[in-house]
Structure formats: structure tokens, C-alpha cells
């Protein structure tokens, strides 16, 4: 598009305002009747109504009826969060024949009633301000058309552990062609090193074998073992993936969606608590001894939170306590005369089944002692020195074997994968989801999803469930005939002079500079990719010349809101 993004014709605005009670969420703290009466006095408002629940079937019906009966050309809903409810209201407007981009919301729940419960008069005044601002902006809204794009109905699952196997199998069952990419020579991930799975006690090898069989039996899953990601380009629906095999062969594929299930790895315990790999080992090494029937110790001391909840790694690894308790029980079942002593800071056994496992272990004679993080256990020759904070005494616990419960950490190539896909990682290099509550399996980048311990340490059932969830999320894209995107994205205007200030700041890499010829000279101008752009507004806020704007948030629209907000001060 061209133009300055501002000079657009605005048809006569006939605005309908709907004030939602949201049960008592809003009406319990604000006078919704008074807000409705106030809205009716605002310029260009021809209809105002309050509803108990505007998002209900009856509330949606009232909006659609008002659009028809009162010839509304704009709709404003004063209710809750646009993040959760705006799509519903916009679709309701579209069904009634009104362009969905002629809709605006005022969030008087999150921004008024919830945060100002004890300041009702001020909250009421603020709600009026928000409604007045929404109406002022609505006058300047212009019709837009959704952006459409084609897609390739194929998926790539990166990682062949429990989450990846679960996701690939589910996608294949949905009829999707899947490329399952695993860097190792075998499928199964970390679970191949495990003896039994808690709290069920199932043999991990049986679970892996069953999942691998399911995947191998599906003709629409193509396995790519000993293969790593080498690059990702394109956009949602058409991701251009470059893979590299162990032999150096380069494979290129175009897929519509990607599931990241690259897992995690146990922390290297070198230098921690006298670790030597023989008498002092890690929990994962104990699993391998139990799995291979090479376990012989009679006096076992397990130390929890080794290398976790520290200055280097502040997080709790979640599954270490479950692993220690599960293995303690298995040791006692192998040899009831064996002594197992677990030294812990806190016990993380969430869920009723896990809690029962803890109590079962106590019943079998497993002993638990708490330790102070400021005075952790000290591994000496043949004994562990423990300061007991409850008694103030220091005791020595003899051992044949010390087992360190170390955390899972992100693989070394997490940051490289994140750079390829333009997806974020947290401070510990685990991948970071778009929103912990609203989009726990999504990335901010459309079409890329997350499952298993690639996000955070998870149990086997959790990894499997997340794999299924990520497959379902991926199929919301792959099941469509075409993709549609919001039109509220950045638009380069005639004022752009190609300075490039906004290009480096765009978090979605949606902007780029292109060369063109004018008056016999090679010049540069910005170009916006409407699929990659999410309308965040960083570019528009950066440009000092108005060379790029975000549709739906143009300068005139924002100025109208600011002027409306300042009216209460005049």
C-alpha cells in the first residue's frame, strides 16, 4: 500500500455503545446504568445499551439487532479484555453485515472495576474516560479486509522424545504429513535412559517401544534420524526448513507448521558434591543402573536440589523429587534390607498420586531429612555429613552410594534453534511460550508450537499431554484451506525515506529495506511483510517522519483518544 496512512475518507459515524455488567465483575463496583446514560450523550452515539453479559448469546443478538435497527456504522463494547473477547465481538459485527474493523473496545473491567475496587468514584470517572476515548477513536476507524495467504499442509516435529512422538503421532492421525526430526540415532529421547516411570511404575522401555511402533506404523510420518535443524525461513503456512544429516546431506522442506519438542538434558554434575561417576552418581545414572540390573548398593543417600535453586540456576526442576522417591521405592522393593536416606530442602510431589507415592516410600522405610541450603550436606569418604536445622546437630550418614538429584537443563543448541525460528528463550535457555495462561503451547511467532521439556522440566504424562496439545494447535492452521490474518498491521507511507531505523527494532523481522530507482538514482525504501507483522507498533513509534503507521492505530486515531482523555481535565 502507499499513501500516508492518515488521509482516508471516513463515512458518517453512527455509533452504538454497549456497556457490560459482566455479572458483578463490573456492575459490583461501577454504576453501569450511569455509564450507559453517559455514553448516549457522546458525539456520534445514536444508541446505547447495557447488558448483563454482552458476550452471551443474547448480548451478541442485541448487538446484531442494533446494527440493523439503528443503522450503526461503528460499535463500541465497554466490558472486559480485548485479548479474550474482541474476536467474538468482531465476528458478531461481521455476521450482521458490519465490517469487523469498525469495532472498538473499552476495557472497564481489568482497568477499572478490578484494579480500583476501593476507589469507586475514581473508577467510575475513569470508566467514563475510557468509553469517551473509545468512541473518539471509533469515529475515525476505517473498513479493512483480512489478509489471506496459502499454506502447505505439512508439519515438522523437531525432537523424537515423548513430546515429539506424541505430537507426530497425533498430527498423523489427523491426516497431516509429518517430518519427525531427531538428532540422535534412536527415538525416545531421555526416556530411553529411564528405568521406570513414576508414579505408575511402568517400564520406560515399554512406553518408548509402544510410541515408536505407533510412529513407525504411520505411513504419513517420515523419520529423519541423526538430522539437525540448519535454518528456517518463510512465514506461517510456508516455512522453508533446511535440515542437515550426519553425513552432511542437506534436506529442504516446506511445511505449514512446526512443533518444537527438543527436550532437555541432565546437568553435568562434575565438581558437585564429590561427583565421580562411581560412588557419587546422578539420578539419571542410577536409573541406568536399575534399568540394566547393575545396582548393588546397600546404603544409599540421595541429595536433592544439587545444582538447582542456586545462584547459577534459580529454578526448581520439578521432577527430581518424583524421581528420587520413585527410585527409593524400587530399591526397597529389590532389597527390603537396603537403607535409603533422602536429604531434601523441600519435597515437590504435586498431585494426589505423587503424594501417595511419597507416603508409600515412608511406609517402606525410606528415611527423609531436611537440610539447610546455607549448610548443605558434605560428601566425605564413606559418609555424608548432615547438619540438621531442627535439632542443631551434625550427623554422619554412612553410604555405599550417593545419588545427586540434579536438574534438567536446556540443550546447548537451544539458542541456535531460537535464532533460526525467531522464537524467544528465558534466562535459563528454555523456550518461552507466548503466554503462560492464554497460549501455553504457542510461540509469539505464528505457526510454531512448543511441547515437553523444551519449555521446562516435565513428567512423562505432562510431556505426552503437551505433545497432543501442540499437535491440536498446529492443526488449527493445517486444517484450513487458506490462512487469514488481521489487517491491523504496519503500512509503509510515502514519507518513508529508507533510513532503516525501524528495521533493526522490529521484533518479528517483518521490515526490510528494498532498493528502487527514482530520477536516475538508486534509493531505499522500507517494505513490510504483512504476514510476519503483528501490529505491535514499534516501527510507528520509532519513525520520526510518519514513514510507517499501523492500521487501526494511526496518528489521527491516537490523537483523538488523547484529546478525549484530556477533556476531563478541562
Element (H, E) at 257: strand 257-260
| Mean predicted confidence (pLDDT) in 161-167 | 98
At 191, list the grid cell: 526416556
From CA 97, how far away is CA 431, in angstroms rounded? 42
Supply the pLDDT for residue 558.
Answer: 94
Supply the pLDDT for residue 11.
Answer: 54
Q: For domain 489-550, give the CATH number.
A: 3.30.70.3270
Backbone angles phi, psi at 213, to 5 degrees: -60, -45
| Among 279, 286, 482, 290, residue whose Cα is nearest residue 384 | 279
Supply the pLDDT for residue 365.
Answer: 97
Supply the pLDDT for residue 444.
Answer: 87
| Mean predicted confidence (pLDDT) in 465-487 | 95
Burial of 519 (0-12, 13-18, 19+ CB in 10 A): exposed
pLDDT at 7 > cutoff 60: no
Supply the pLDDT for residue 524.
Answer: 87
Under 8 Å between Cβ of 35 and 78 = yes
End-to-end CA distance of the chain: 39
**Ramachandran bin of 308, using left for φ above 0, alpha for ψ from -120 to 50, beta for the remaining angles:** beta
Under 8 Å between Cβ of 432 and 424 = yes
**What top-level class would CATH report for the domain 267-407?**
alpha beta
More confident: 306 or 438: 306
pLDDT at 2 > cutoff 60: no
From CA 31, how far away is CA 41, in angstroms rounded? 16
Provide CATH 3.30.70.3270 ranges for the chain.
489-550
At 216, list the grid cell: 513407525
**What top-level class would CATH report for the domain 15-146?**
alpha beta
Q: Summarize pLDDT for 522-549 with one digit per residue, the tens.
A: 888 889 999 889 899 999 999 988 999 9
Provide CATH 3.50.50.60 ranges for the chain.
154-264+410-478, 267-407
154-264+410-478 CATH fold: FAD/NAD(P)-binding domain (3.50.50)
pLDDT at 327 > cutoff 50: yes
pLDDT at 519 > cutoff 80: no
At 532, list the grid cell: 510476519
Supply the pLDDT for residue 10.
Answer: 53
Q: Which residue has the cell 498446529?
A: 474
Under 8 Å between Cβ of 468 and 175 = no
Binned at pLDDT 50, 70 and 90, residue 414 comes out as very high
**Mean pLDDT rounded to a whole number for the chain:** 94
Amino acid at each position: 500500500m502507499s499513501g500516508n496512512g492518515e488521509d482516508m475518507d471516513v463515512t458518517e459515524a453512527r455509533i452504538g455503545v454497549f456497556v457490560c455488567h459482566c455479572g458483578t465483575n463490573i456492575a459490583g463496583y461501577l454504576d453501569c446504568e450511569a455509564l450507559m446514560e453517559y455514553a448516549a450523550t457522546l458525539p456520534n452515539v445514536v444508541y446505547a445499551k447495557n447488558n448483563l453479559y454482552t458476550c452471551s448469546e443474547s448480548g451478541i443478538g442485541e448487538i446484531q439487532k442494533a446494527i440493523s435497527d439503528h443503522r450503526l456504522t461503528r460499535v463500541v463494547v465497554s466490558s472486559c479484555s480485548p485479548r479474550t473477547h474482541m474476536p467474538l465481538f468482531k465476528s458478531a459485527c461481521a455476521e450482521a453485515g458490519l465490517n469487523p474493523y469498525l469495532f472498538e473496545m473499552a476495557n472497564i473491567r481489568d482497568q477499572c472495576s478490578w484494579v480500583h475496587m476501593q476507589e469507586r468514584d475514581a473508577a467510575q470517572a475513569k470508566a467514563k474516560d475510557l468509553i469517551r476515548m473509545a468512541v473518539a477513536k471509533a469515529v475515525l476507524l476505517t473498513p479493512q479486509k483480512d489478509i489471506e495467504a496459502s499454506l502447505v499442509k505439512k508439519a515438522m516435529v523437531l525432537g523424537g522424545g515423548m513430546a515429539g512422538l506424541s505430537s507426530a503421532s497425533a498430527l498423523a492421525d489427523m491426516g497431516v504429513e509429518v517430518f519427525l526430526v531427531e538428532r540422535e540415532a534412536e527415538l525416545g529421547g531421555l526416556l530411553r535412559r529411564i528405568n521406570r516411570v513414576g508414579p505408575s511404575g511402568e517400564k520406560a522401555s515399554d512406553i518408548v517401544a509402544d510410541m515408536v511402533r505407533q510412529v513407525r506404523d504411520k505411513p504419513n510420518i517420515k523419520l529423519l534420524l541423526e538430522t539437525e535443524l540448519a535454518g528456517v525461513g518463510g512465514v506461517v503456512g510456508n516455512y522453508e526448513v533446511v535440515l542437515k544429516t550426519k553425513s552432511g546431506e542437506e534436506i529442504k522442506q516446506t511445511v505449514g507448521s512446526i512443533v518444537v519438542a527438543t527436550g532437555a538434558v541432565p546437568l553435568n554434575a562434575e565438581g558437585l558434591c564429590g561427583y565421580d561417576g562411581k560412588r557419587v552418581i546422578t539420578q539419571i545414572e542410577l536409573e541406568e543402573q536399575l534399568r540394566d540390573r547393575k545396582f548393588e548398593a546397600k546404603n544409599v543417600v540421595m541429595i536433592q536440589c544439587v545444582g538447582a535453586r542456586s545462584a547459577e540456576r534459580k529454578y526448581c526442576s520439578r521432577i527430581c523429587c518424583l524421581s528420587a522417591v520413585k527410585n527409593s521405592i524400587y530399591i526397597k522393593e529389590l532389597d527390603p534390607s537396603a537403607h535409603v536416606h533422602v536429604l531434601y530442602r523441600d519435597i515437590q510431589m504435586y498431585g494426589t498420586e505423587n503424594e501417595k507415592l511419597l507416603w508409600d516410600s515412608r511406609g517402606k522405610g525410606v528415611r527423609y531429612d531436611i537440610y539447610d541450603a546455607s549448610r548443605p550436606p558434605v560428601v566425605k569418604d564413606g559418609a555424608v555429613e548432615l547438619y540438621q536445622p531442627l535439632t542443631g546437630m551434625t550427623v554422619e550418614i554412612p553410604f555405599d552410594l550417593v545419588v545427586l538429584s540434579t536438574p534438567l537443563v536446556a540443550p546447548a543448541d537451544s539458542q541456535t534453534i531460537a535464532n533460526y525460528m525467531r522464537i524467544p528463550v528465558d534466562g535459563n535457555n528454555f523456550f518461552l511460550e507466548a503466554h503462560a495462561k492464554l497460549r501455553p503451547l504457542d510461540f509469539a511467532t505464528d505457526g510454531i508450537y512448543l511441547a515437553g521439556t523444551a519449555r521446562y522440566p516435565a513428567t512423562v504424562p505432562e510431556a505426552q499431554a503437551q505433545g497432543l496439545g501442540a499437535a491440536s494447535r498446529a492443526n488449527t492452521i493445517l486444517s484450513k484451506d487458506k490462512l487469514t490474518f488481521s489487517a491491523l498491521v504496519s503500512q509503509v507511507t510515502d514519507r518513508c525515506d529508507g533510513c532503516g531505523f525501524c528495521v533493526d527494532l522490529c521484533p518479528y523481522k517483518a521490515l526490510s529495506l528494498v532498493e528502487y530507482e527514482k530520477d536516475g538514482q538508486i534509493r531505499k525504501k522500507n517494505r513490510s511483510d504483512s504476514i510476519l507483522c503483528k501490529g505491535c507498533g514499534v516501527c510507528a513509534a520509532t519513525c520520526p517522519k510518519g514513514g510507517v503507521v499501523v492500521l487501526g492505530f494511526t496518528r489521527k486515531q491516537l490523537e483523538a483518544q488523547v484529546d478525549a482523555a484530556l477533556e476531563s481535565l478541562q
